[in-house]
Chains A and B, each alone.
Chain A
Amino acid sequence: MERLFKLSKLEQTIVQFILIAWACVVVFPIFIAVINSLKPNLGEVYKAPFAFPSEWSWDNYWEAWVGANFAKYFLNSAIISGACVLIVTVCASTTAFVLVRMPFKGSVLVFACFMLGVVIPIRLTLAPLFVIVKSLGLLDTLWGVIFVQSASMMPVAVFILTAFLRNVPAELEEAAKMDGALPFQIYWRVVLPLIKPALATVGLLTFVSSWNEYFLPLIFLQSESNYPITLGISQFRLQYDVQWHLMFAGILIMLIPTIVAFLLASRQFIQGLTQGGVKE
C-alpha cells in the first residue's frame, strides 16, 4: 500500500512539475484578470498584459460599480439568489420530510415526478415554461425568475435531502411523536437540526447556481433594471467591448461572491459535487 503510493525523489519532481503546470493553466486567466483590472489605462493592458500595473488603481472597479450600473445588477443577483436559497431550503426540506417520514398513497409517484426533473433539464421546456410564466403575469419580474430558478433546483435538492434523511434513524422523531408532538413541531425541533449538513450543501449549491444562472433570466427578463449580474455583464460588454480593463474589473466583481462562498465552504462544495453530482 505505502509502496504503491510512495514516490521516489525523481518521480516526485516530475509529478510536482505536471501539477504546477496544470495549476498555472487554472490560475492564469484569473491572474491576468486581476492584474489587468487594476491598471489605470487601456494602453497598458494592450501593450503588456503580463506586466503588473505601473500604478495600482481601483478606478475600474469604481467605474463599473457606479458608472455601469453594476451596483444595481449586483443587488438584483443578491435578491434572486437569496430568495432562491430561502425558498429551496424550506420547500425541499419540508417535501423530503413528508416523503421519507410520512409516506402516503402516491408518495412514491410524487418522488418519481421530482426525479423526472433531475434527469430532464428545465431549459428544454423553454416554450411551455415561457407560456406559464407569461400567463401568471410574472414576465419581466424578479419573482418570475426566482420561482423558475428555485423550481429548477427543487429536484436535486429533494434528492439530496431524501437520501440524507433515509440514512438518519427516526428514533428521535418517534420519541417526539410519543410525547404528542405534531408534524410542524417535529419538523422544526427535530428534523431541521438533524439535516443541517445536507441543508448546507443544498443551500450552497442553490446559491452558486442561481447566482451564476444566465439562461433563465435571459428568457424571462426584459428591463435592464431587473437584470442580474450575468445579464448585466453582457450588457456591459456591448458598451465597453474594447475597454478590457473595465471588462476585467466587471468580471471579477461578478466572481467575488462565488469565490468567497467557495473559500468558506470548499469541503461542502466538493462533497456536494460527489454525492449530489446529478446535475451540473
Chain B
Amino acid sequence: MAMKYNQKANLQRIALLTPGVLLYGIFNFLPLLGLLVLALVKWPGIGPIQWVGFENFQILFGNPYFRDQLVNAFLNNIVFFVIIIGAMLILGTGLALLLSFGTWGRNHYRTIFFLPYPLAGAAVAFLMQLLVQTRGPINQMLVGSGITDTAIGFLGEPNLALPTLAVFYSWHRMSFAIILILSAIVAVRVHLLEAAMLDGANRWQTLKAVVFPVLAPAFVLITVIVMVDVFNNADYTLLLMGPEGGPNGRTDIMGTFLFRSAFGGSATSTNVNFGMSATIGLVIAVIILPAALFLALRNVRKD
C-alpha cells in the first residue's frame, strides 16, 4: 500500500514538473544552447547550412564592414547607457530622498511617479516622438517662450537623436530607480538613525553616514539591471529610427545590430546570416555576463 502511494506520488511529481520544464526548455533554454551551435555556421535562414567554425567571429572582429558596425554600436550603446544610468541615479536618488521625508502627499506622488512604468515601450516611443516633432508641442513651447529661435529636430539631428532616445527611456523607467532607492532608504534601521542623531549629527551628516552607505547595493542593482536591459533591448531604436539606427547609424546599438544581422536592415538587404546573428548574440552575452552573474549570485544568496 505504501509502495503504491510512493509510485503514484512519483508519477504525479513528474506530471507536475513536465509542462514547465518542457515550455521553458524548448522555447528558452534550448535556444540559449543553440547560440553556441549556430555561431559556428553560415546560413541565411533558408537553404543549406554551411559549417564555418570560428569564421563568424573572425569576420565580426576582423572584417572592417562588420567591425566598424560593431564598434559603432558598442560605443553608442555605452553613451546610451551612461546617460540613462546617470539620470536614473541622480534624479532617482534626489526624488527618493524627497519622498522619504515627512512630505505632504508622498504616497500620492509615489503613485503618480510610477505611472509610466507599466506603459508599453511602443506606446511611449510613439507618444514621445509626437511630442518632440519639429511642429510638436515641445518645440512650440521652446520657440514660443523664446528659448530657441527655430524648432529643434530632436530625432533628426545626428548628435541629438541618441540622447533623445535615452531621455525617453529614462522617463519611462525612472520610477524603477525611485522605488528601489526609496525602499533602501526606508529599510535603514531606525536605531542607527537615532544613534546618529543622539551623537549630535545634523540631517546632512546623518544622511551621509547612515543613509548613503545603504544605497550602494540599490545603486549596483539598478546599474546592473539597466545595463542588461539596454545592451539587449533596442525597441526604441527599432521603433523610431529603424533597424539601421539612423541618422547615419548614430542611434545604432547592439540590439539593432543583432536584429539586422538576422533579418536585414531594409528590403534590399541581402547580408543576412543566422550564424552571424548568433555570434553577435554570444558577444552581447559576454558583455553583459559580469552583470548577469552578479544578479544570479545575488538571487542565489537571497534564497
Contacts and interface: CB of A to CB of B under 8 A. Distances in A.
Interface of A: 1, 3-7, 11-12, 15-16, 18-19, 22-23, 25-27, 29-30, 32-33, 46, 49-50, 87, 90-92, 94-95, 97-99, 102, 104, 110, 113-133, 136, 147-148, 150-152, 154-155, 158-159, 162-163, 166, 180, 182-184, 187, 208, 211-212, 214-215, 218-219, 229-230, 233-234, 237, 244, 247-248, 251, 254-255, 258-259, 261-262, 266, 269-270, 273-274, 277-280
Contacts of A32: 131, 137
B278 interface: yes
Contact of B126 (A131, A152, A247, A274): A247
Contact of A148 (B27, B45, B296): B27
Contacts of A158: 20, 24
A127 B281 contact: yes
Contacts of A7: 101-103
Contacts of B140: 49-50
Given A49-B137, A119-B295, A215-B235, A97 B114 contact: no
B81 interface: no
A27 B26 contact: no
Given A29-B127, A98-B17, A184-B12, 18 more contacts: A4-B206, A19-B103, A29-B128, A32-B137, A91-B19, A94-B16, A95-B16, A98-B13, A104-B13, A118-B295, A119-B292, A121-B228, A128-B31, A151-B28, A183-B12, A248-B127, A259-B115, A269-B118
A33 B5 CA distance: 62
Nearest to B254: A124
Interface residues of B, number: 106
- A contact face: mostly helix, strand, loop, or mixed: helix
A277 B114 contact: no
Given A126-B262, A183-B12, A215-B233, A266 B5 contact: no
Most chain A CB atoms below 10 A, which of B17, B35, B103, B206: B17
A128 B295 contact: no
A147 B23 CA distance: 7
Interface in B269-294: 274-275, 277-278, 281-282, 284-285, 288, 292-293
Contacts of A162: 303
Given A127-B278, A280-B233, A118 B296 contact: yes
A1 B179 contact: no
A104 B6 CA distance: 13
A11 B123 CA distance: 37
A208 to B, nearest CB: 5
B38 A26 contact: no
Contacts of A15: 98, 101, 103
Contacts of B37: 128
A125 B24 CA distance: 13
Contact of A120 (B5, B20, B116, B292): B292
30 contacts: A1-B194, A1-B197, A5-B100, A23-B109, A49-B137, A50-B140, A90-B19, A95-B21, A98-B16, A104-B13, A117-B32, A123-B233, A124-B232, A124-B282, A124-B284, A125-B31, A127-B274, A128-B32, A128-B37, A129-B27, A155-B28, A184-B15, A212-B120, A212-B122, A214-B122, A218-B238, A233-B126, A247-B126, A251-B123, A280-B176
A7 B233 CA distance: 41
B300 interface: yes
B203 A4 contact: yes
